[in-house]
Amino acid sequence: MPKRLWIAGLSSLLGTGCSSGEALAPPLPSCTAANAAQVSLGAVARDTALDLTQAAGCALFPTNLSTTAAIRYLVVPQSASATPNESQAYQLRGSPLLAAVAAAAFAVPAPATPAQQFDLSLRRAERELAARVPAPARAPARALLAPTPVDSGNVRTFKVCAVAVGCDARKSNTLASVTATALKVGQHIAIYVDNAAPQPGMSQSDLDNLRAIFDTSLYELDTLAFGRESDIDNNGMVIVLMTGKVNALVSKDSCAKGLIAGYFFGADLITTPPFATGNNGEIFYAMVPDPSATLSCAYSVLTVRQLVPQTFVHEFQHMISFNQHFLLRGESSEDLWLNEGLSHYAEELGGRSFLPADSATFCSYVFGDVFNAGQYFGAPQNYFLVDTAGIGGLAERGAYWLFVRYLVDRFSTDASTAAANVVTRSLEQTARIGADNVSAATATPFDTLLKQWAFANYVSDLPGFAVPPKLRYTKWQFRTAFPVLNARCSNRIPAAFPLDTAAHAYPASSISASGVLRAGSAGYYIAQQAPGEPEFILQVNGFDRLVFAPYSTLLRARVVPRLNVIRLQ
């Protein structure tokens, strides 16, 4: 999906906390030692997950028998729901119970940027069109002849999105016609440049550099990690169409809000009449240099050289995913949150390919992922992981990337790239999508994976903590990475690990906090039990907008509410 400048803070699309026509959640029973779930974590690094629809939403922790050492628990209320955008407000309280805190507010989404609107418009049109194609007819006919590569100098006319909202390959008034010439042809990539692109544009040397990066590095990275793209136009190549129509998708008065550096549109790969309304080929659309801002915002050759390859490695994953799920297996395209997570992981792969020699280029590829992860870590309870209503703000994209990164680290048989590719290909080369895909590929229940991921986010590199292997990121040590990348890459990356600040510490028996459970995501609290402190109860109450008294119900079962606890000390 379109690349954007990673500077605009975006709020997530939030749920309402109540579904239309849904019955009220059960009333909240009294929380006592008799009806609470028993928590017994006798050793450091032991953990448990409690179903908050049971045991009155209560958890009983034993007395700290030590007279000298405190006990610290990481307490993580989480929605393990695989239902996109499911949410409900909650309150976490320790015993003795305190007066109820104010209801957690559902934030009002910030206005969408042009790039965000364009993303959502394309994906909706793509999925709607794909869903209309009868399943037996989804796969394109296979060419019987050897591929006919593109010739350098070939001139071709393409249909390109002319509007940022509502682009639809079936509606000619949303498209523009572009005549372009193939100026650079490699083994896997053919670069066409719009004949009407502003001049002077990219030099032959600039185009040679782009072709080399696409052809010899990024193409191989993506295909090894995710599988092959389709070849419905039988040319054995992916076309990179560089056109000012991409620049013009963002108006001049929106330049400060971000840019669209490129995109892929699945409609180009649907060949079944009467649904074949795209360009019938594998095409990545990219911006062109326009330093004089004749089309829209001013972008130099250097900017294009930096941003377009990063966008390509991201968008090419989407192209491969569409082929693997829809064309080859005749099923729905991948859920947006997991599709985006895999594409952001592809950006990281691109960056790592430049190490150790070129740390500056590594920074340019991973900056967006790390910045987004910082936004998520700063307030994880505010954002969804499982989300298909949109394509996510920056923090949600951070969650998507982190979850895929964790899955790769957790299920790779060793630290090699080849082992990592086995994991990502298993997520790609399947008819399953979303949470069902993840569970099948890992042979692990989705709620278990969410619990382990939530713990790993905090304990993976926690100093002095013996981290269980299942709770570890192997390629990242975030407490070290954030200050290093802040100094090396950009001071917009947080200088310290944001989750350390977000995980507020409380005396165990007097926790009083509220938040919102959002599908897949979690809140973080540290409960500290002093030496000799007696047993205490934690209760998680639900908030139902149809009930007058706030936090007076159990959490709804469809939120799949869990209280995950791991002993830190």
DSSP 8-class letter at 53: T
Report if residue 355 sits inside a domain: no
267 lies in the same domain as 208: yes
155 lies in the same domain as 41: no
Tell me the C-alpha distance between 376 and 518, whole Å: 13
Q: Which residue has the tokens 């050793």?
A: 43
pTM: 0.91
Q: Determine the Cα angle at 339 with ends 337 and 341, to 5°.
A: 70
Tell me the C-alpha distance between 143 and 141, whole Å: 6
207 lies in the same domain as 90: no
- pLDDT band at 207; cut points 50, 70, 90: very high
Going by C-beta distance under 8 Å and a sequence separation of 6 or more, which residues neighbour residue 553? 24, 25, 26, 27, 28, 541, 542, 543, 544, 547
Report if residue 303 sits inside a domain: yes
Estimate to the nearest angstrom the gap between the alpha carbon of 416 and the chain centroid.
Answer: 23
In the chain, helix, strand, coil percent, each to 5?
Answer: 35, 15, 45
Report if residue 487 sits inside a domain: no
DSSP 8-class letter at 136: G
72: CATH: 2.60.40
Report if residue 208 sits inside a domain: yes
- Burial level of 414, CB count in 10 A (0-12/13-18/19+)? exposed
Report if residue 56 sits inside a domain: yes
pLDDT value, residue 33: 79
253 lies in the same domain as 156: yes
Asked if pLDDT for residue 69 goes beyond 50, the answer is yes
Report if residue 340 sits inside a domain: no
- Strand-pair partners of 159: 177
Tell me the C-alpha distance between 274 and 290, whole Å: 37
Structure tokens that stand for 526 in this block: 């540290």
Tell me the C-alpha distance between 125 and 193, whole Å: 26
Asked if pLDDT for residue 11 goes beyond 90, the answer is no
Range of the domain at 176: 139-315
Q: Which residue has the tokens 């908030």?
A: 543
Helix (H, G, I), strand (E, B) or coil at 29: coil
pLDDT value, residue 166: 86
pLDDT value, residue 110: 52
51 lies in the same domain as 185: no
Q: Decide which of 35 and 459 is more confident.
A: 459
281 lies in the same domain as 175: yes
CA torsion sign, 214 to 216 to 222 to 228? positive
66 lies in the same domain as 175: no
Q: In angstroms, what CA-CA distances link 338 with 120, 277, 344, 392, 434?
A: 15, 27, 10, 11, 6
239 lies in the same domain as 90: no
- Across 130-139, 266-275, 391-400, 484-493, the highest mean pLDDT is recorded for 484-493
Report if residue 536 sits inside a domain: yes
- pLDDT band at 113; cut points 50, 70, 90: low
Picking from 291, 315, 339, the residue at the C-terminal end of a domain is 315
Beta-strand relationship, 71-79 and 175-185: unpaired
52 lies in the same domain as 201: no
Q: What is the CA radius of gyration of the chain?
A: 25
173 lies in the same domain as 89: no
Picking from 315, 331, 352, the residue at the C-terminal end of a domain is 315
Report if residue 400 sits inside a domain: no
- pLDDT band at 35; cut points 50, 70, 90: confident
pLDDT value, residue 549: 57
202 lies in the same domain as 61: no
How many structural domains comprise the chain?
2
Helix (H, G, I), strand (E, B) or coil at 125: helix
Going by C-beta distance under 8 Å and a sequence separation of 6 or more, which residues neighbour residue 265? 122, 126, 161, 167, 169, 278, 283, 285
Asked if pLDDT for residue 16 goes beyond 60, the answer is no
Structure tokens that stand for 210 in this block: 């782009």
For the chain, the farthest-separated pair of C-alpha atoms sits apart, in whole angstroms, at: 82
Picking from 294, 315, 336, the residue at the C-terminal end of a domain is 315
The string over 447-468, giving b where at least 16 C-beta atoms fall within 10 Å of a residue's C-beta and e elsewhere, is: bebbbbbbbbbbbbbeeebeee
83 lies in the same domain as 167: no
